[in-house]
Amino acid sequence: MVFAGMNYLAILVATVAAFLIGGAYYGVLGKPWMKAARIDAEDARMSPMLFVISILSELVMAFFLAGVIGHLGDGQVTLWNGVVSAFFIWLGFVLMTMIVNHRYQGYNWDLTLIDGLHWLLALVAMGAIIGWFGV
């Protein structure tokens, strides 16, 4: 297999989708998340820099997810394979890292559940878009 490049449009669309999913998700679950993360609503500050960091991080995630999906080989880059690849990355790396970090940081499982579901939705959407567009 020759890995010749990436579909930058797919990466960009996947990034925007993940960002929008996060906005909608935490727009709905913001209060339970703040409680689980032990953030006082009065002390919470939404800096524009947080949004810049979020979208740049999701851009990096989409880029590397495209790299992983692209390594499946010719004819193997499909919507379904993108979703499955994203799920495996979420389960094997993202969720496991969150579980370890949240346990050491003394957070309850509700924070892991809220954040974990967000990243599952974001990564699966990215994988679906990248797989659908192709790499």
pLDDT digits (tens, 9 = 90+) for 34-81: 999 999 887 777 789 999 999 999 999 999 999 999 888 777 889 999
Supply the pLDDT for residue 2. 41
Mean model confidence pLDDT for the chain = 93
pLDDT at 45: 79
pLDDT classification of 4: cutoffs 50, 70, 90: low
Q: How far apart are CA 80 and CA 99, in angstroms?
A: 27
pTM of the model: 0.92
Report the 10 Å Cβ neighbour count for 47.
Answer: 8
- Stretch 77-102: mean pLDDT: 97
